Structure 1
Amino acid sequence: MESYRVLRGRVNSIGFQPDECLIPFLELAGFGSAALIRSFDLRYDLISALVERWHSETHTFHLPCGECTITLEDVAVQLGLPIDGNAVTGISSISRPATLCYELLGRSPSEGKFASLRLSWLKANFEYLPSTANEREVMQAVRTYIMHLIGGVLMKESNGSTVHLMHLPLLSNLHNTRSYSWGSVVLAMLYRELCRTTDPSAVDIGGCLILLQS
């Protein structure tokens, strides 16, 4: 009898809670419900069983009782993310990443070229908001928390604990951030990961696994 393949993932929680003063701005940006996610127990045996029943041709799970799938409505109801609006797109290669980070986050992990931010760096530098923080620093902390949500829960990569820098420019104006269909890209990435991991050689899985499991 062949051994059953159990996939693995890297990050399975946000790691820290946002300061209460950030909540109204997280709601403004469309991430208020997602910010309520604290920690969760992922069952990789269950997730692996779902992957075994995923058909890439139809994007559905084939179960004894029939076919089913995860829909945009599930994303909206369970995560509270916007599912209408502009497509979430970005530049894969940012020419001056340090300048962008200083402008929107107030600090940068490097002065050289880089394409992503480590979640551990975000947590170490922004977990605690000073009581004397001004409006600019609060906005920087909000952007940081959204980036941490994206990389740690909503669109996490299977091969590391980082978040791509391409999402950061979309957070420059929080009033406009909500106009993007974040729910659509979360679902699209989960579909992509489900299709990728149907390959028997795959050993890990990314995407919004809390949505997949629930």
Structure 2
Amino acid sequence: MRRRDWRAMVILLEAVGLGPVSQMPSIILDHGLLTALAERWHSESQCFRLPTGEMTVTIEDVWRILRVPMMGTLIEYSADAGLIRAACSALFDVDDIPHDGMTIALHECISDPTLHRGPLYIMSLISGFLLTDKTGTSFPRGLLPLVHGIFSGERYCWGQCILAHLYWDLHLITYH
């Protein structure tokens, strides 16, 4: 991304409350630690049972670590094909993006990624850092209107969504 484009992206991310997240260094995961924590997760009480006692992740923890907005428009997954097509048109100048029903592959979004670095960067920030999945290379199709909203200056309520996503992933790990 050219320096001028990057400055505009930083200003946009600051305006919508995602500036601190965009400035965070990449994270190196300790898979052993993550496995140990997952093994100690109890879905019924939504806490980790550790030798020193029980611990849970709170909304305040999410805010202190990520500094994401706690107030704003609720984040919703849209199944409305019209909204998704409108977002595709606004972000990528196409009517629709190839998908497998639920997700789109980030590398298959558009023919020339250099023209659409901003939306792709935000999509990778969301799917690779805030609301991660196991692939790291796909993006939930129903969140395309969210990316369009970010480019329109919409401030979203990220903290609650991230915490709910974390709890859901821990629940899935426990039962699979």
TM-score, normalised via structure 1 length = 0.67
Q: Residue in 2 aligned with 1:3?
A: none
Instruction: State the Cα distance separating 1:92 from its structure 2 match.
Output: 2.6
Q: Residue in 1 aligned with 2:163?
A: 187
Q: Residue in 2 aligned with 1:74?
A: 61
Instruction: State the Cα distance separating 1:188 from its structure 2 match.
Output: 0.5
Counterparts in 2 of 1:99 and 1:156: CA distance versus 1, 3 Å: same
Q: Residue in 2 aligned with 1:177?
A: 154
Contact 2:38/2:173, CA 8 A, preserved across alignment: yes
TM-score, normalised via structure 2 length = 0.80
Aligned: 1:152 with 2:139: no
Q: Percent identity?
A: 31
Given the alignment, which residue of 15, 22, 26 partners 1:35?
22
The one-letter code sitting in structure 1 at the alignment partner of 2:64 is V
CA-to-aligned-CA distance 1:4-57 (integer Å, 9 cap, x gap): xxxxxxxxxxxxxx8233101111111111111342210111101001111101
Contact 1:84/1:181, CA 8 A, preserved across alignment: yes
Q: Report the 3-state secondary structure (helix = DSSP H, G, I; strand = E; otherwise coil) of the residue aligned with 2:174.
A: coil
Corresponding residue pairs, total: 171
Contact 1:105/1:144, CA 8 A, preserved across alignment: no
Contact 1:29/1:176, CA 8 A, preserved across alignment: yes
CA-to-aligned-CA distance 1:120-175 (integer Å, 9 cap, x gap): 3469844x56xxxxxxxxxx644332211111111122256211122221333446
Given the alignment, which residue of 37, 42, 53 partners 1:55?
42
CA-to-aligned-CA distance 1:93-116 (integer Å, 9 cap, x gap): 524745531212335774788543
Given the alignment, which residue of 79, 98, 106 partners 1:92?
79
1:88-167, aligned counterparts within 5 Å?
88-95=75-82, 97-107=84-94, 110=97, 115-121=102-108, 125-126=112-113, 128=114, 141-158=117-134, 161-167=137-143
1-side partners of 2:117 and 2:161: how far apart? 23
Q: Report the 3-state secondary structure (helix = DSSP H, G, I; strand = E; otherwise coil) of the residue aligned with 1:76.
A: helix
Please identify which structure carries the higher helix content: 2
Gaps of 5+ in 2: none
Counterparts in 2 of 1:190 and 1:49: CA distance versus 1, 3 Å: same
Contact 1:93/1:115, CA 8 A, preserved across alignment: no
Root-mean-square deviation (CA), in Å? 2.9
